[in-house]
Structure 1
Amino acid sequence: MKGKIQISILSIKLLVSAVLFGLAMCVINSFISYREFKRQVESMYSKVTSQFAETAISYIDADRIFIWLTEGPDKYWDSMNARLNELTETAQLAYIYLTVVSADYKSRTYVFDTVNSLVLNDPFPLGYVESLERKTPDYIEDLQRIFDEGASQSYFSYKKNGGHVTTSIPVRDFTGTVIAVMSVVKPMNEIAEYKANYLRVLLFAALGFTAFFLVLYTFSLIRGLVQPLMFIIDETSHFAEHHGELTGLLKKIKNHDELGLLAKSVEKMSIDMNQYISELTSATAEKERLGAELNVATKIQAEMLPRVFPPYENHPEIELFASMTPAKEVGGDFYDFFMIDDRHFALTVADVSGKGVPAALFMVIAKTLLKDASFRYSLPSEIFTHVNDILCEGNESGMFVTCWLGILDVNTGKLVFANAGHTSPVLCKNGSVSYLESKPNLMLAAMPDMVYMDHEIVISKGDRLFLYTDGVTEAADKNENLYGEERLLNKMKNLKSENPRDVLDEVRSDIDAFVQGAPQFDDLTMLAMIYKGK
């Protein structure tokens, strides 16, 4: 009678514990899942609207903003306003507006304001002044960060029908000074339906799982959970006391649940151990085979990049050196340089999104297309437009490429270049070291039918260029501090040697000293060139 009472009490405790545990897990999992769902949705909308805002900025001539505010609209304003209206409609945005904020952050003046045809509002005209005094302190602080730090800001407003997201990014003039704010407003009407469906599925799944768990647990308890458990305890005690011998008591357990599996596992322990060792040996051999194949892939990728330095004996006016160090066995960064004809020299550095084998495959395609197009088109903008349209075709993986491409006339020093979302090179000219900044266009493979802009400078004998990918400036130490653009610029100002190979060695040594042994998380590519003139 006493044994039956003990078994009954144990069964009740297990059942109550299971019920409480199941309910607690339902609540916790539901809360965590919903927070993650909301975070993912906000991250997606923030990225999408940021890209649309960058695209909208690429339409605008920022240096004419104050001319329009002073003299009124002209044909250029009308053309840009039409393009922004077209982007508003095709991208299903609610608004796109560009404003100039007063120095005291008490008002802002509209330069552009486009409204989707589905929104029952009229756009503000050029020069319309709106008061900001009713805005919250947080809103004003975010505006100040845009101007002071050049940081983008996203605001989310939730309503019963879904709400909307507003993303604001800085607009810079030719000097790099933030002079205005470009804002994009995108409705989130579909989020209400997503939210309702998500919560409905989550609730049914949680309740169903809990009910199934309790039914299964109760059935197992009624069918003899406690008694098989006592058999296993007695047998394992005998196993430990008699040097691994079993009495055969486990044969009485007919359960097909975890207890039955546990009983069989004790009987087959030695067999399973031998099988495990065999499988581990096989897995080790397979890993070594894959490692060997990746080593071959690394060698093939390295051989695809130019490796002869100096590159051209018959063109002593060009001296350069380049390197690419992937974060994994293979990477997505690449550099290239080649003579287009007897006087035009092309050089490029690019960074494919992602890492590893997928990025390496996309890198091969992009590098081949860029070089082929360079022999068919004379301007970097034309090359980018052609390559971008090809890469966008069937790009279901959503990969993209940031790229800087320049074409140098080796006789005159004229350098024509275009920037597709890439980091700005460092230019060392007449003893001055600065970033060769330009308004970057959208990266390649992000959106078809893009128009890219050419920029032009003239470099003189002794001038130097340093091209790189963001693996340089975003190299992080153990505390996740970034190497940064300022440290790179200081290093370029204090080089001990102007020889391109030495330049790369000094920069890499400075990066290694900064990260202090922290692992490399991104591909690291650098190219240094000195123009020696005719």
Structure 2
Amino acid sequence: MKNKLRLRPRLVLGLIIMSTVLVLTLTALGGAIYRRKMEVVYSREAFDTASIAAQLIDGDRIAEYRKTLKKDAYYESVHQTLQMIRQSTGVKYLYVVIPEDVQFYIWDTGEEGDEGVCDLGDTDEYYGNGYEIMHAAFSPDAEQTMLVTNGDLYGYLASAYVAILDSRGQPAALASVDISMDIINHEIQRFYLIFLMVSLGIVLVSSLFYYSYIRRILIRPIHILNEDTRKLVSDQMEALGAFRNRVHTGDELQWLGESFEHMTRELEVYIQNLAAVTAEKERIGAELNVATRIQADMLPRIFPPFPSRKEIDLYASMNPAKEVGGDFYDFFLVDEDHLALVMADVSGKGVPAALFMVIAKTLIKNRTQMGGTPGEILYDVNNQLCEGNEEDLFVTVWLSILELSTGRGIAANAGHEHPVVRHKDGNYELVLYKHSPAVAAMEGIRFREHEYVLDPGDRLFVYTDGVPEANNSREELYGTDRMTDALNTLQDPSPQELLEYMKKDIDSFTGDAPQFDDVTMLALYYNGPAT
């Protein structure tokens, strides 16, 4: 198993990321609010300073200074007063201009000789959108609008303009105040530093308390559950009954631990039951293997069965759908000239059918060896099987006694499949005739007999319903038509080759579909009387 990042480091990492995002977000938001507040404060201060300057200046004198460009005592007095205002308020520039096509200076409070200081009559170009803002401010009821500029000569400035009115109430000039934005930026940076440190401190302390709380209610209980479950795995689940819940948080984690404790106890019981069931299945499996061998041993399996009898070639096979099946075949000599052939199918499958099959096979063979026709034999066997048949089992039987010297035979069909006969130089064809009821279906039944003749070179094929009723994954049946086609495929096979080909063709048809029923077949070739 790969080593993955554990829960505690992941929680700590998540807490650090969350705290960092929170601090940065709060700092950015607080800085934006503080900047706006500082801008409002400095804007109000700038407009207040400009308003003070505008009120102390006599607007009627400005037109004269504009016209004559001559300074007098009043001019110098105002200049000194404006310088005092600039120095006391800390604004960067305080000046009076007339907004024309250019700015026409009346007063400028800068020290004489300083760069950018203008004297009476000097002009200067507008910066940014200063033309529009200054001309808009040049009215008695103008709105207060700040102009922000950033130039190489004057630097980063915010400017406020207030109209100076003459005695008629008409604007004569603009009292102008420039505040350095560097002051605001410095205040913002100072605010960021202080706010960041305070926020970090608060978040750090809060995070420590929160982590301690999470560790107590989440990490430690999960760690306990993890240790206990890993110990169970390392002990290969041998101590399931000893598992006890050690989590007592009073919440879902405790419920999880209690549920896991209950699950381990149930799992222990399940494993014990499973072990018992597995042992029982193994015992039953072993017994079924023995039963399979016993059943197989009950059917004739030595081929050729009668090496000294040249009148016939014979081969038979049985493939059960389960470990033991209900189909059976049999063949034996009743006497030196008569051969008994049996093909039967017991209702049901598995052990009950196999047990009934043993009884039926034994009764049929014993009764046949006592003599009589197939109908008489099945009559007696039927009555015996009906006695004590509480499970209502029955067996379909095709029983024939063939006279080897002549090829004449008598058959009784008790509800079984139609036999298939191939006459010499012909094809396999179904022999259709009316059947009697199955054996053990009802006591006292008389079974109809059917006579037939096999000529030298004729062949007989009998089977159970597992052949035509074999089905594939599409629920299609193998059927008697496909069966006879397969029988006629090979040119001149031996009985064994014929049955092996038939089984292969059935398996090819059914494919991956499970075998539904026992597949039992018998092939007999009649060669004629021995010479």
SS of residue paired to 1:307: coil
CA distance in 2, matches of 1:238, 1:475: 62
Alpha carbons of structure 1 residues 469 and 265: separation in structure 2 relative to 1, 3 Å = same
Q: Aligned match of 1:435 in 427, 430, 437?
A: 430
Of 326-335 and 277-286, the range deviating more from structure 2? 277-286
* Deviation of the 1:300 alpha carbon: 0.5
1:212-227 alignment, distance < 5 Å: none
Residue 474 of structure 1, CA deviation: 0.5
Instruction: Pick the aligned partner of 2:400 from 406, 413, 432.
Output: 406
| Residue of structure 2 in register with 1:294 after alignment | 288
Question: RMSD value over aligned CA atoms?
Answer: 2.7
Superposed CA deviations along residues 229-278 of structure 1, whole A, max 9, x for unmatched, are xxxxxx99996575365455789xxxxxxxx9x99654444444444434
After TM superposition, the structure 1 = structure 2 runs for residues 103-252 of structure 1, keeping only pairs within 5 Å, are 240=222, 243=225, 246-248=246-248
Structure 2 counterparts to residues 26-105 of structure 1, below 5 A: none
Cα deviation, residue 512, structure 1: 1.2
Normalised by the size of structure 1, how large is the TM-score? 0.52
Q: CA deviation at 1:498?
A: 3.1
Matched, 1:375 2:357: no
* Equivalent position of 1:323 in the other structure: 317
What residue in structure 1 maps to residue 338 of structure 2?
A: 344
Letter in 1 for 2:280: E
Alignment of 1:440-455 (within 5 A): 440-455=435-450
Q: Secondary structure at the match of 1:294?
A: helix
TM-score scaled by length of structure 2: 0.52
Q: Please tell me whether the aligned partners of residues 321 and 501 of structure 1 are also in contact (alpha carbons under 8 angstroms).
A: yes
Matched, 1:479 2:474: yes
2:391 corresponds, among 382, 394, 397, to 397
Q: Which residue of 2 aligns with 1:498?
A: 493
Structure 1 residue matching 2:467: 3-state secondary structure: helix
**Residue deviations 1:372-401 (CA, integer Å, cap 9, x gap):** 110223210101111111111121101110
1:317 maps to amino acid: E
Residue 425 of structure 1 and its aligned partner are, at CA, apart by 1.0
Q: Distance in 2 between matches of 1:236 and 1:403?
A: 74
Show the 5 A alignment for 1:17-32.
Answer: none
Query: Deviation per CA, 1:168-226, whole angstroms, max 9, x where unpaired?
Result: xxxxxxxxxxxxxxxxxxxxxxxxxxxxxxxxxxxxxxxxxxxxxxxxxxxxxxxxxxx
Q: Which residue, 453, 476, 488 being the options, matches 2:483?
A: 488
Instruction: Determine which of 516, 522, 528 is the counterpart of 1:527.
Output: 522
Residue 378 of structure 2 aligns to which amino acid in structure 1?
A: F
Match of 1:459? Answer: 454
Distance 1:238 1:389, change over 3 A: farther
d(CA) in 1 for partners of 2:417, 2:219: 67
Alignment partner of 2:502 out of 502, 507, 522: 507
User: Structure 1 CA distance, aligned partners of 2:503 and 2:462?
Assistant: 13
Q: 1:501 is aligned with what amino acid?
A: Q
Amino acid at match of 1:243: L
Q: CA deviation at 1:291?
A: 1.2
Query: SS of the counterpart of 1:417?
Result: strand
Q: Does the Cα contact within 8 Å between 2:225 and 2:247 map onto a contact in 1?
A: no
The change in CA–CA distance for 1:250 and 1:314 in structure 2 (over 3 A counts) is farther
Question: How far, CA to CA, are the matches of 2:488 and 2:425 in structure 1?
Answer: 9
User: Where in structure 2 are there 5+ consecutive unaligned residues?
Assistant: 1-216, 227-244
Q: Tell me if 1:333 matches 2:327.
A: yes
- Report the 3-state secondary structure (helix = DSSP H, G, I; strand = E; otherwise coil) of the residue aligned with 1:277: helix
Structure with the greater alpha carbon radius of gyration: 2
Distance 1:236 1:442, change over 3 A: farther
Q: What corresponds to 2:42 in structure 1?
A: none
Distance across 2 between alignment mates of 1:458 and 1:274? 69
Q: Show the counterpart of 1:360.
A: 354
Q: Deviations over 1:87-121 (max 9, x none)?
A: xxxxxxxxxxxxxxxxxxxxxxxxxxxxxxxxxxx
Distance 2:327 2:509 in 1: 22
In the TM superposition, what is the alpha-carbon distance from 1:312 to its structure 2 partner? 1.2
SS at match of 1:301: helix
Rounded Cα–Cα distance in structure 2 between residues aligned with 1:275 and 1:462: 67
**515-524 or 429-438, which deviates more:** 429-438
Q: Retained in 2: the 8 A contact 1:238–1:246? A: no
Does the Cα contact within 8 Å between 1:250 and 1:263 map onto a contact in 2? Answer: no
Partners of 1:384 and 1:370 in 2: CA distance: 7
Which amino acid in structure 1 is aligned with residue 225 of structure 2? H
Q: Distance in 1 between matches of 2:274 and 2:449?
A: 57
Specify whether residues 449 and 273 from structure 1 end up closer, same or farther in structure 2 by C-alpha distance, changes over 3 A only.
closer
Supply the distance in 2 between the matched residues of 1:513 and 1:410 (Cα, whole angstroms): 36
Which residue identity is paired with 2:456?
K
Separation in structure 2 between the aligned mates of residue 507 and residue 236 of structure 1, nearest angstrom: 69
Quote the Cα distance in structure 1 between the aligned partners of 2:262 and 2:449.
72
Offset at 1:308? 1.3
Q: How does 1:273-312 map to 2 (within 5 A)?
A: 273-312=267-306
C-alpha contact 2:422 2:460 (8 A) present in aligned 1:
yes
2:264, 2:412 → 1: CA distance? 67
Preserved contact between residue 224 and residue 247 of structure 2 (Cα < 8 Å): no
Are residues 267 and 514 of structure 1, via their aligned partners in 2, closer, same or farther at CA, if it must alter by over 3 Å?
closer
Where in structure 1 are there 5+ consecutive unaligned residues? 1-234, 252-259
One-letter amino acid of the counterpart of residue 453, structure 1: R
Contact 1:463 1:530 in 2 (8 A): yes
- Tell me, in whole angstroms, the C-alpha distance in 2 between the residues paired with 1:276 and 1:447: 47
